A and B are shown apart, each in its own frame.
Chain A
Amino acid sequence: MYVVILGAGRIGVRLARWMLDSGSEVTLIELNRRRLEIVKQSLGEVAIQGDGCSSLVLGEAGLSRADIFVATTGADDVNLLTCQVAKHHYGVEKTISIVYLPEHEDLFKMLGVDMTINITNLAIECLETGMADLFAEEV
């Protein structure tokens, strides 16, 4: 499987390592050169430097032959745009995106993003579950 991941931050890098370990081919796209250097040292030559919103960079990443595109940047607007380009122009079958603002999740789905990970809601759910015990004990 060929996976293109936008963003070599904490999420992107961990995801890339998991995919590589499971035998998939991976390319990371990252704007920040310092992060890129770190990735090179830990994972090897699997990242390219560039702005994921640029068609040149997406082409360079071989998006047209990717099976999956995952957007992991910290910006909903960039994540949505790149997923739309991946799906509607490059024909990538599966687009996955991190979503920060819970209210954006429905729009992402409406516009064709196959899987959305609502980071904020996830964190809140974990907190509520984790803290429920504390409040229960107080009673």
Chain B
Amino acid sequence: MLDSEETNNSTREIESSRRGPIYRARRVLIVGCGETGAALATRLSDSGNIIKVLDLDPASFELLPPRRIETTRIVPVVGDGTREGDLRRASAHEVDVMIATTGTSPINILASQIGLHIIRVPKVLCLIEEEPIMEIYRSLGIHVISRLHLTVSTLFEETMS
């Protein structure tokens, strides 16, 4: 009879699900420390992730919370997100996720492709301002998020609900 075995197995499953999923801090590189990049860095570090932020302009780091920089939970790096060397200086080769959030879509796309195809970051997210130019980004393996699309979708849903 298999009854007792089945009972044991299902008990084990319930116990492990009670412990909850194991959460691992992610190492994240954010390219572009504008309003979006800085806000994202802050929120991600609130959840215990380790963040590096890359920007050409050191003044942009003023948007980051000073405490987090002091404790090195957020590490600002000055550099150009379209240059492989600078991305590596910002630990791109060691991160779990790279997110391109400069205010310029073509730059985000170039940085993302370097991250994806040359440095081989496991997950690359690319913010673009407008609607994506067709399906090509998905076919090129870049996960593109359109600010315009998100905004319009949210407003649409709110309007229609």
B101-142: which have CB < 8 Å to A? 104-107, 109-110, 113-114, 117-118, 130, 133-136, 139-140
In contact, A88 and B82 (Cβ under 8 angstroms):
no
Which A residues are CB-close (under 8 A) to B105?
53, 81
**Beta-carbon contacts of B77-106 to A below 8 Å, as 1s and 0s?**
000001111000000000000000000111
In contact, A76 and B83 (Cβ under 8 angstroms):
no
Which B residues are CB-close (under 8 A) to A101?
82-83
Closest A residue to B130 using CB positions: A54
C-alpha gap A91/B134 in the complex (Å): 13
- Nearest CB in chain A: distance from B142 CB, A: 10
Which of A78, A80, A88 is B136 in contact with, Cβ under 8 Å?
Answer: A88
| Number of residues from A at the complex interface, CB < 8 A | 19
A60 interface contact, C-beta 8 A: no
In contact, A78 and B106 (Cβ under 8 angstroms):
yes
- Interface size class on chain B is 20 to 34
C-alpha gap A80/B118 in the complex (Å): 15
In contact, A85 and B136 (Cβ under 8 angstroms):
yes
In contact, A88 and B104 (Cβ under 8 angstroms):
no
**Beta-carbon contacts of A76-103 to B below 8 Å, as 1s and 0s?**
1110110011001100000000000101
* A interface, over-half SS: helix
C-alpha gap A84/B134 in the complex (Å): 11
A75 interface contact, C-beta 8 A: yes
In contact, B133 and A107 (Cβ under 8 angstroms):
no
In contact, B117 and A89 (Cβ under 8 angstroms):
no
- Nearest CB in chain A: distance from B24 CB, A: 31
CB within 8 Å for A75 and B106 given contacts A107-B117, A111-B117: yes
Which of A53, A54, A55, A103 is B84 in contact with, Cβ under 8 Å?
Answer: A103
Which of B83, B104, B134 is A85 in contact with, Cβ under 8 Å?
Answer: B134
In contact, B133 and A77 (Cβ under 8 angstroms):
no
A96-118: which have CB < 8 Å to B? 101, 103-104, 107, 110-111
Interface residues, chain A, with chain B CB atoms under 8 Å away: 53-55, 75-78, 80-81, 84-85, 88-89, 101, 103-104, 107, 110-111
